[in-house]
Chain A
Amino acid sequence: MYRKTKLTAVAVIVTLLFLFGIITGCGGGNTGVQEDTIKIGFLGAKTGGHAAYGIPTLNGMKLAVEDINAAGGLLGQQVVIIEDDHRSQSSEGATVTQKLITQGVVAIVGDPTTGITKIAAEIAQGAGVVLVSAGAVGEGVVEIGDYIYRDTLLDKLAAPVVTKYLKEELGWEKVALVTSTNNDYSVGLSELFRTSLDEYGMEIVAEQSIQDGDQNFSAQVTALSKKEFDGIIFTGYYTEGGLFMKEVRAQGLDQVMVGGDGLLASVLWELGEDAVEGSMVYTGFAADPEGATGKTLEFINKYQEKYGELPDMFAAQGYDAVMLIADAIKAAESADPAKFKETLRQTTNWEGVSGTITFGPDREPIKSPVYLLEVKDGGWAIKAVLPVEI
């Protein structure tokens, strides 16, 4: 029994030591502000559900920083990236944002998702640090404050451009609109398409609702098969998109589908096989080593050399976010967020690797061009590069 007391006493001492370790460990994490570097924070997931967006963003950022430093740095100082992982969790997203700010970053690039961007934006705005999201497309992000920006292609700009192309180049007059009603992205995008279809005088002859997670679309497709239309506008995600088109072909219809970047995944043709051949998807960036020129080509080559794969949209936007911040700092001749947020705001017709960016009066990005991709032999092919007119 005496031994047992000793054992518990040891256990308590060990845990106390551990706690002490935690406290000192936390203290060690704080490196303080150094004067000779300009720090840019990366906010995103390197593990967890959103890692597929976070890692390419970080890769793109690293490439941008290399380019900046190779050209002599910024205001005579080297640029470094402070990175941390939030495991795709909101609460850790807030903690990481605070940590980055404590470590003296002047700007944060991230998060690729709208939700965590909103959390981080509140903190960054309060602390007076510029935040550029390289992925958030949802509503209500830049409205949080004048330190908050994003460099993504917004659906409200892309939908009219794509609609115009469908009407003028492909000669579509009548379309069928398919919406996934339990998917907010889909509901919002359908609303945008409805407006732009109306604007260009195109007619929606049939509207069908599906649900994310549905497997069988025979009822919806049967309803469509009784109408005549030139093509299908599908605003949902790739899984349903692939299966839906399979059913469309099974019932003998030959129309193709057009959708937003919710369809942008190889799963689309893995599930849809031949049925999705010719279907079109729009996106803010597509790596095309043959067709690309200038800056973009250079970026694609460098990225491929360094990481052994073609850059995706997140990588290009991560690169552009860092470059946008760097150019704003150069123009302001100051790394003080309060100063360079003003020059960032004046960004007009800025040439990036993912296109041309202008921040509009509401500080939302106006981005050109829109890449329209087509499924060809089980892969993406660029069908058209559509300019966005301001």
Chain B
Amino acid sequence: MDDFLKQFINPYYLQVLMLLGIYLIAALGLHLITGVTGQLSFGHAAFLSVGAYGAALLNIHLDLPFLLCLLAGGLLAALAGVFVGFPSMRLSGDYLGIATLGFCEIIRVVFMNLEITGGARGLAGIPRETNLLTVYILVILTIVTIYRLQNSRFGRALVAIREDEIAAECMGIRSIWYKVGAFAIGSFCAGVAGGLYAHMLQYLNPADFGFVRSFELLCFIVLGGLGSISGAILGTTILTLAPEMLRFSAEYRMMMYGTLMVAMMIFRPRGLLGGVDLRRLIRSSFRSRDRDTTTPAGG
């Protein structure tokens, strides 16, 4: 598959596009947790690493088919999500953020010290299975699933929790179940992304899954606009491609990247697509212009 594509796209773009797809899947998972449900999570990289190591180890030691490994990696991450979810759901806001940050560090240190994960030396010898087609089929699948989920009864309950948890409870929503559910689904996405990541790089090192990676993912969705799928996609796309695009500036690259982020936050404080409903925007441009059709979609 890759060889076929290499005739049309050069391998460098292929690599960047695959990485983008992988980040998209992970970011959409975080979008559900932080954007839709409003639960601040600094631990997304941990779920990514659980999925990555899970899938890679299953593939190396049990020789399972690739897609099964991805699924298992996702499920392991979801399990980890539930595992963190229950105790930490008593917390909210910044406090939850710190708890998830702690969890992220624990996972990293565990992988750093386990024998089977190769410890600090990292895990090498993972077969290369990820290709562009698999990644983008999964991206589309994730987008559709999250979109459907967000507009379902479950999704509306999540939004209700984000807007006012007490009011939501009064309406009969058991917020803890919904929050843990959101965590599980979000972590599942991260786990699948992790599996793809492992089978693309063919080498894993716990140092790659520190809190910096978590913050990076959080930046993707905040910059794109919290609570909006198109925002998460746009934010991820821009922030993944920007460092590559800015390579011409050599040493100033990361400075320009930072400037870009500051500028975007100044001009669009709620994120690029925060409060913008793309469907309504497109529809409204066809309709008469004097009617107000751009009521912000909250968040």
Binding site for B on A (CB under 8 A): 1-2, 4-5, 8-9, 11-12, 15, 18-19, 21-22, 25-26, 28-30, 46-47, 84-85, 87, 89-92, 94-95, 98-99, 101-102, 114-115, 118-119, 122, 126-127, 138-140, 182-184
Question: Contact at A118–B122, with CB atoms within 8 Å?
Answer: yes
Which one of A87, A94, A182 contacts B113 once the chains associate, using CB atoms below 8 Å?
A: A182
The secondary-structure label for the interface of chain B is helix
Contact B208 A140 (CB under 8 A): no
Binds A, one of B62-70, B82-90, B165-173, B281-289: B281-289
Q: Decide yes or no: A9 and B248 within 8 Å by CB, A90-B201, A90-B203 being known contacts.
A: no
**Does B95 interact with chain A (Cβ within 8 Å)?**
no
Q: A18-B238, A99-B12 are in contact. Are A89 and B208 (CB under 8 A)?
A: yes
Q: Are B272 and A15 in contact (CB under 8 A)?
A: yes
Q: Assuming A90-B203, A115-B203, A115-B205, is B241 touching A8 (CB within 8 A)?
A: no
Contact with A along B160-187 (1 / 0, CB 8 A): 0000000000000000000000000000
Main secondary structure of the interface of A (DSSP, over half): helix
Chain B residue, CB-CB nearest to A94: B201
- Report B273 CB to chain A, min CB distance, Å: 8
Tell which of B203, B205, B238, B293 has the most Cβ of chain A within 10 Å.
Answer: B203
* A–B complex contacts, Cβ < 8 Å, 25 sampled: A2-B289, A2-B290, A5-B289, A8-B281, A9-B281, A9-B285, A11-B268, A12-B273, A15-B238, A19-B237, A19-B238, A22-B238, A22-B242, A26-B244, A29-B247, A47-B254, A91-B201, A94-B201, A98-B11, A98-B14, A115-B207, A122-B128, A138-B121, A140-B124, A140-B125
Chain B neighbourhood of A46, CB < 8 A: 251
Given the interface pairs A95-B244, A114-B121, A140-B124, the reply to whether A12 lies near B281 with Cβ below 8 Å is: yes
Rank and list the top 5 A-B pairs by shortest CB-CB distance, nearest first: A25-B245, A1-B292, A102-B12, A98-B15, A98-B12
Contacts of A89 in B (CB 8 A): 208
A-B pair count, CB < 8 Å, reads: 116
A133 to B242, CA, bound (A): 28
Can you name 10 extra interface pairs (CB under 8 A) apart from A30-B12, A95-B12?
A5-B284, A9-B285, A11-B276, A19-B237, A22-B241, A29-B248, A98-B11, A115-B203, A139-B121, A140-B125
User: In the assembly, what is the distance between CA of A136 and CA of B119, in Å?
Assistant: 17
A87 vs B251: C-alpha distance when bound (angstroms): 10
Residues of B within 8 A of A90 (CB): 201, 203, 205, 207-208
Interface centre among A9, A19, A115 (most CB of B within 10 A): A115
Most chain A beta-carbon neighbours within 10 Å: one of B122, B234, B237, B293: B122
Hey, which chain A residues are within 8 Å of B248, CB to CB?
25, 28-29
Give Cα A162 to B11, complex, Å: 45
Residues of the A chain whose Cβ atoms lie less than 8 Å from the Cβ of B202: 118-119, 122
- CB contacts (< 8 Å) of A2 on chain B: these are 289-290, 292
Query: A9 vs B242: C-alpha distance in the bound complex, in angstroms?
Result: 22
A100 nearest in chain B by CB position: B12
**Docked CA distance A211–B19 (Å):** 36
B121 touches A26 (CB 8 A): no
Residue pair B203, A22 in contact (C-beta under 8 Å): no
Q: Is B10 an interface residue (CB 8 A)?
A: yes
For window 192-240 of chain B, which residues contact chain A by CB distance below 8 Å?
197, 200-203, 205, 207-208, 234, 237-238
Tell me if B258 counts as interface (CB < 8 A to partner A): no
Residues of chain A with a CB closer than 8 A to B119's CB: 184
B92 touches A (CB below 8 Å): no
Bound CA–CA A85/B113 (angstroms): 29
Instruction: List residues of chain A with CB within 8 A of the CB of B15.
Output: 94-95, 98
> Whole-angstrom distance between the alpha carbons of A84 and B12 in the complex?
13
In the complex, whether B250 has a CB less than 8 A from a CB of chain A is yes
B284 lies within 8 A of A122 (CB): no
Pick from B125, B285, B294 the residue with the most CB of A within 10 Å.
Answer: B294
Chain B contacts for A12, CB-based, 8 A:
273, 276, 281
Closest to B119 in A: A184
Interchain CB contact under 8 A, A4 and B238 = no
Most buried by B among A19, A22, A28: A22
Are A15's CB and B201's CB within 8 A? Answer: no
- For the complex formed, measure the closest distance between the CB of B8 and the CB atoms of chain A, giving whole angstroms: 14
Q: Which A-chain residue is minimally distant from B242 (CB atoms)?
A: A22
Q: Pick from A15, A29, A183: contact of B234, CB below 8 A.
A: A15
Residue of B nearest to A187 (CB): B119
For the complex, give the distance between the alpha carbons of A11 and B15 in Å.
Answer: 29
Residues of A with C-beta under 8 A to B234 = 15
Task: Tell me the bound Cα distance from A132 to B142 in angstroms.
Answer: 40
Q: Check if B197 sits within 8 Å of A91, measured CB to CB.
A: yes
User: What CA separation (Å) do A114 and B11 show in the bound complex?
Assistant: 23
The 8 A CB mask of B12-51 against A (1 = contact, 0 = none) is: 1111100100000000000000000000000000000000
Contact partner of B243 (CB less than 8 A), chosen from A92, A102, A115, A126, is A92
Residues on A with C-beta less than 8 A from B121 are 114-115, 138-139, 184
- In the bound complex, residues from chain A placing their C-beta under 8 Å from that of B124 are 118, 140
| Minimal beta-carbon separation of A308 from chain B (angstroms) | 19
**Quick one: closest A residue to B277, CB to CB?**
A8
Give the distance in Å from the alpha carbon of A84 to the alpha carbon of B183 in the complex.
38
Q: How far is the CB of B60 from chain A (nearest CB, A)?
A: 13
Known: A19-B238, A115-B203. A91 touches B253 (CB 8 A): no
Neighbouring B residues of A99 by C-beta, 8 Å: 12
- Which single member of B200, B285, B294 contacts A1 (CB below 8 Å)? B294
- Shortest Cβ distance from residue A132 to the other chain B in the assembled complex, whole angstroms: 18
Q: A95-B15, A119-B202, A127-B11 are in contact. Are A26 and B122 (CB under 8 A)?
A: no
CB-CB under 8 A from A92, the residues of chain B are: 243
Complexed CA–CA distance, A115 and B124 (Å): 9
B120 interfacial contact with A, CB 8 Å: yes
Q: Taking the nearest CB of chain B, how far is it from the CB of A169, in angstroms?
A: 33
Contact of A8 with B294 at beta-carbon distance under 8 Å, contacts A95-B19, A118-B203, A122-B203 already known:
yes
